Structure 1
Amino acid sequence: MTPPPGWYPDPSAPQAERWWDGSAWTEHRRAPGAPVPPAAPDRASRRAKAVALVTAGAVLVAAIVTGALVLRTDHEGAGATEANTAATPTTGDPGPASPSPSGTPSASDPSADDPATVVDQLNGITLPLPDGWERPRYIADDDVVMTTDGTYDCPAGVGLCFHGLVSTRTDGATAGTSPRALAEQDITDAADAAFDENALGQRPFGGITSHRLVASGQIAVAGRSGYYVRWRVSTAKGPGGYVQSLAFPSSVGTEAPVVVRFVFDAGADGPPLSDMDEITRGIRAVGDADTGGGVGSSLGPSH
């Protein structure tokens, strides 16, 4: 009887094994005990594999073509959406009058995903981040949402100061108070905290020597009726600055009043007042870029 296919001692080299295919010796050799290589497929199996590969290739080509059509359709759909969005006109009055044309509001509203927008989830608002401003770094006050880039030695030689900062907070203790009353109450505290005595008991500007009202009035903020008060503050040291208290009802939760404070240096290195106007007009409710800006007809001019 003919031995079945398998590995047997090689007649020409007994120290190796050689593959017997059932009828003759092949050229496949191995060391005794080595892993068995896969046997060569017969003609029928090779034909079946070829058919399977051709079929799989056809399916893959069809899938690629279908995917390309889907991607093309989606891309064209997205393009149409963007075009419609860009063409949609924005509404709302420009808000506080700006001292220069640079305060003109942008034609497009900021998005919460925009890197030039600060999102305040606690108070349910977003604020635009003008050029030269950044999210707070190296500052312990959690209410601060943006500062000007960099710091400088405070005029009185005590600590480091920012040329500008903006903070937000919820004023739950005055729930039911009108935005006007709240803004008029808050402006004194805002001025003292910024230019008189800080939380550490220091006087970075040597204290406040005087102040005057620059502007005040009703304004729509994030679709709500608000009120703002702006002061020009003179200090014992340095050029002094501007403070603004802006109060309006929150659009989230219990609708407790939200207070936004602005502190700007008045010196040559301080930010322009147009930035204060731009930020004020650009406040929006989170997730709603269409809420209107200020009602400029009821506001006094900035100086």
Structure 2
Amino acid sequence: MTPPPGWYRDPTAPHQERWWDGAAWTEHRRAPEPTGHGPAVDPSQGTAPGYGQHPASGYHQAQSGPAPAAPPPTGVVPGEPSTGGRGKAVALTTAAAVLVGAIVTGVFVLGEDDAGSPRTRTPPITATTSDPAPVTDPPSPSPTASESPADDPAVVEDQLNGVTFPLPDGWVRPKYVAEDDVMMTTDGTYDCPADGGVCRHGLVVSRTVTANAESSPKVLAQQDIEDAADDAYDRDLVGNKPFGGIESHEEVASGPVAVAGRAGYYVRWRVRTAKGPGGYVQSMVFPSTVGTESPILVRYVFDAGEDGPPTADMDTITKGIRPIGDADTGGGVGSGIGPTR
């Protein structure tokens, strides 16, 4: 059973009434009228009894007897029939009070800080394309430790062996170099005088000695010098002879040397080649300052002649070798040798 046709409180807008045609809500609405003004009039069909009915309540004010059991198929919650202006005012006042209470509660919850005291929050401001860019002071530089070797343009770091090398004027970090473990080269290249190809006037190599059970820096340096000369001025990596091969050599210097606070040894040869001015090679060995203190081999290859770097750069580089993180530990020929191990 459903309520008969009539004007009832609109379930979607309680401040007005809506026509119920006995089966469904129509689109006809009106402002509530005082009770007792006669029968309800069907706005689309003419007249029909039933003012004062409420399809949600299931009864008619002008009738007696049991109320209909089934509500309208609108899902409206059952309620009392409309009582005119007073009922509307009470409903609106109640709704307004609930809304204000919800807003106050929301502000209280959102504005509660970590200590539990309420406060209000200002919404964030979103910049637009028309807004001028905010002007802020540049951040103050925070105090930092001294520059790491990798950040110093005048230092080259050998992380594997735990040492750094100074980079003298005219020397650069290696680029497009086929040989392994090259720490630095002279700036620029030139055409090799014999078999063609590209040569450099100077380079410095650093590597760990691993294929030799010997640990004496002197013995290791003496064993390496001939290989150093052959690799630099006899044959290259692909078997060519960029200088036409070595014709002779002579030892021009050797002896103990302090490197990075460790006792080492060096041997230096003057090499003469079939083509070109030849050059100088030096093998220098000293114990590493890290790990198992494996011997470190440093090779110097300098072209002779006016285009080659001065041999004094060998001593400059040797004196500037440091353990990573220790800028005060140096060495060089004639300086304190330190412990011999």
Q: State the TM-score, normalized to the length of structure 2.
A: 0.56
SS class of match (1:260):
strand
- Alignment match of 1:169 (pick from 190, 207, 216): 207
Q: Name the count of aligned residue pairs.
A: 233
Amino acid at match of 2:199: C
Match of 2:301 in 1: 263
- Alignment match of 1:122 (pick from 157, 160, 178): 160
**Which structure has greater helix proportion?**
1
Deviation at 1:157, TM superposition (A): 3.8
Counterpart Cα distance in 2 of 1:195 and 1:260: 17
Give the conservation status (yes or no) of the 8 Å contact 1:180–1:226: yes
Counterpart Cα distance in 2 of 1:224 and 1:270: 29
Counterpart Cα distance in 1 of 2:267 and 2:308: 19
Q: Where do 5+ consecutive residues of structure 2 fail to align?
A: 1-102, 112-118, 121-138
Give the conservation status (yes or no) of the 8 Å contact 1:171–1:258: yes
Match of 1:192 in 2: 230
Deviation at 1:253, TM superposition (A): 2.2
Aligned pair 1:277/2:315, yes or no? yes
Deviation at 1:297, TM superposition (A): 5.9
Counterpart Cα distance in 2 of 1:110 and 1:180: 32
Deviation at 1:294, TM superposition (A): 2.0
Match of 2:133 in 1: none
Aligned pair 1:227/2:275, yes or no? no
SS class of match (2:151):
coil
Give the conservation status (yes or no) of the 8 Å contact 2:195–2:244: no
Structure 1 residues 274-283 or 184-193, which shifts more?
Answer: 274-283
Give the conservation status (yes or no) of the 8 Å contact 2:235–2:245: yes
SS class of match (2:243):
coil
Counterpart Cα distance in 1 of 2:333 and 2:318: 12
Match of 2:82 in 1: none
Higher relative contact order (CA 8 A, sep 6+): 1
Match of 2:15 in 1: none
Are the structure 2 counterparts of residues 222 and 205 from structure 1 closer, same or farther at C-alpha, using a change threshold of 3 Å? same
Deviations 1:120-175 (A, max 9, x none): 11111111111111111111222111111111100114211000011111111224
Give the conservation status (yes or no) of the 8 Å contact 1:174–1:257: no
Give the conservation status (yes or no) of the 8 Å contact 1:110–1:128: no
Counterpart Cα distance in 1 of 2:188 and 2:262: 33
Are the structure 2 counterparts of residues 297 and 279 from structure 1 closer, same or farther at C-alpha, using a change threshold of 3 Å? closer
SS class of match (1:279):
helix
Counterpart Cα distance in 1 of 2:335 and 2:261: 16
Amino acid at match of 2:169: D
Aligned pair 1:250/2:288, yes or no? yes
Counterpart Cα distance in 2 of 1:297 and 1:249: 16
State the identity as a percent: 65
Amino acid at match of 2:243: F
Are the structure 2 counterparts of residues 123 and 152 from structure 1 closer, same or farther at C-alpha, using a change threshold of 3 Å? same
Counterpart Cα distance in 2 of 1:220 and 1:118: 19
Give the conservation status (yes or no) of the 8 Å contact 1:211–1:234: yes
Q: Where do 5+ consecutive residues of structure 1 fail to align?
A: 1-44, 57-70, 83-108
- Alignment match of 1:138 (pick from 166, 171, 176): 176
Amino acid at match of 1:265: D
- Alignment match of 1:214 (pick from 231, 252, 257): 252
Counterpart Cα distance in 1 of 2:151 and 2:334: 28
SS class of match (2:161):
coil
Deviation at 1:298, TM superposition (A): 8.9
Match of 1:67 in 2: none
- Alignment match of 1:179 (pick from 217, 234, 247): 217
Match of 2:187 in 1: 149
Deviation at 1:254, TM superposition (A): 2.1
Counterpart Cα distance in 2 of 1:177 and 1:211: 26
Give the conservation status (yes or no) of the 8 Å contact 1:228–1:244: yes
Q: State the TM-score, normalized to the length of structure 1.
A: 0.63
Query: Larger C-alpha radius of gyration, 1 or 2?
Result: 2
Deviation at 1:185, TM superposition (A): 0.8
Deviation at 1:111, TM superposition (A): 3.6
Match of 2:22 in 1: none
Amino acid at match of 1:144: V
Match of 2:32 in 1: none
Amino acid at match of 2:156: V
Counterpart Cα distance in 1 of 2:330 and 2:164: 13
Aligned pair 1:239/2:277, yes or no? yes
Are the structure 2 counterparts of residues 297 and 255 from structure 1 closer, same or farther at C-alpha, using a change threshold of 3 Å? closer
Counterpart Cα distance in 2 of 1:158 and 1:298: 44
Match of 1:22 in 2: none
